[in-house]
């Protein structure tokens, strides 16, 4: 899935799950921006890790357009990215 398609899916998920426009907890505005999904590297490999790639936690950063506050959504939990397999 390309970044633009991911961003569209994140916005669709927010529209269907957040109440209202979802006000920013820092500044009170509701002008959120989504651009891409990123992967945060885990600092330790879980004992049950079976994949061959480096363990990562994929998240969708949602940025407040007024103050820059960032919320991370779990990209797998919201269905934007599938959990990789072996
Ligand atoms: Zn804000």
Q: Give this prediction's pTM.
A: 0.81
85 pLDDT more than 80: no
Q: Which pLDDT score is estimated for 86?
A: 41
| Domains delineated in the chain | 3-44+53-74 (2.20.25)
Q: How far is the CA of 76 from the centre of ligand 1 (A)?
A: 25
Task: Report how far apart, in Å, the C-alpha atoms of 57 and of each of 3, 15, 28, 47, 67 are.
Answer: 17, 23, 28, 16, 25
Contacts of residue 84, Cβ cutoff 8 Å, sequence gap at least 6: 51, 53
For 20-63, how does the pLDDT look when each residue is reduced to its tens digit (9 = 90+)? 768 899 999 988 999 889 999 888 887 887 776 778 889 999 99
Sign of CA dihedral 36, 39, 40, 46: positive
Distance 32 CA to ligand 1 centre (A): 8
């Amino acid at each position: 899935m390309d970044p633009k398609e991911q961003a569209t899916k994140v916005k669709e998920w927010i529209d269907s799950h957040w109440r209202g426009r979802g006000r920013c907890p820092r500044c009170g505005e509701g002008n959120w921006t989504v651009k891409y999904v990123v992967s945060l590297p885990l600092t330790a490999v879980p004992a049950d890790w079976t994949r061959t790639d480096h363990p990562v936690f994929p998240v969708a950063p949602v940025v407040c357009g007024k103050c820059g506050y960032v919320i991370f959504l779990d990209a797998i939990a919201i269905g934007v990215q599938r959990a990789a397999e072996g």
